[in-house]
Structure 1
Amino acid sequence: MNNTEIEAVHNLSASKRYEYFIKKVADFGEVWRLYDDGWAISEEVNGNPLMPFWPKKEFANLCAVDEWKNYKAEQIELEDFMQKWLPGLKSEGIQPSIFWNNVDSAVLDIDTLILDLEDEIKKY
């Protein structure tokens, strides 16, 4: 990816970044998160925990700033993400924060995320 493409996608609305996430994750079979002695976690205004995920390493790295400045992007295989990570987050009451861009992200129900990924994967 070149810098122009990264910047253009990074600046899309949260809903458009979510669509991009679904397509790229299904296409490449991987999801990215940030890690440094624990996973990057944020929270909603009401205090509910959120775990951010990105479609590409480059986008995760753009968010490794401020309290996450020492965090490094790490990959999750899509199958593990769907079969282990998402059910685990659901049982812990943590919602996925899809494609945070240091401003906002798409926050949605885990079951909806799984269905959207399954629908996209069927196209391949």
Structure 2
Amino acid sequence: MSADNIKSFYSQNSEQRYDLVIAQAKAQGNLWTLADDQGCVIVESGKDEQCLVVWHDEAIAQDWAQNDFDGCRPLAITLDDFIAKWAPGMTQDGFDVAVAPSLAGEGIVVAPQELADDLA
């Protein structure tokens, strides 16, 4: 994905980014998150929720990581795995999902099962 495409993606509002992530993830069959040697990156939302951050594109995930998570790498999660394993496990562990936050950290936070339902 080009720098212009990434910039265009972030110029959309949170709902538009969410809808694009859902459509593209369904088309491609996976989501992207960030990970390091310790595991997946978990961020805290403004509501003190612990969130896994996801995107629909590896380049966008890598671009977002440059701000505060430079040592992280994009990690693909197949939709089948997210729906069958990640969503139930995250729900049990009390995590939410931040879907394609802006570079300022603004975005839609949903329960893992809600995202799984939207992706199914």
Q: Which runs of 5+ in 2 are unaligned?
A: none
The two structures, once aligned, show a CA RMSD in angstroms of 1.3
Alignment counterpart, residue 115 of structure 2, candidates 90, 93, 113: 113
Question: More displaced, 109-118 or 22-31?
Answer: 109-118
Deviation at 1:112, TM superposition (A): 2.2
Identity %: 25
What residue identity is the alignment partner of 1:7? K
Residues 25-78 of structure 1: CA deviation (Å, up to 9, x unaligned): 000001101011221111122322111011000110111134411000011111
What residue identity is the alignment partner of 1:10? Y
* In 2: Cα distance, 1:102 partner to 1:23 partner: 21
Q: Which runs of 5+ in 1 are unaligned?
A: 119-124
1:33 aligns to 2:33 (yes or no): yes
In structure 1, the residue matched to 2:61 is 60
Residues 63-98 of structure 1: CA deviation (Å, up to 9, x unaligned): 113441100001111110111111111110000010
* In 1: Cα distance, 2:4 partner to 2:68 partner: 26
TM-score (norm 1): 0.87
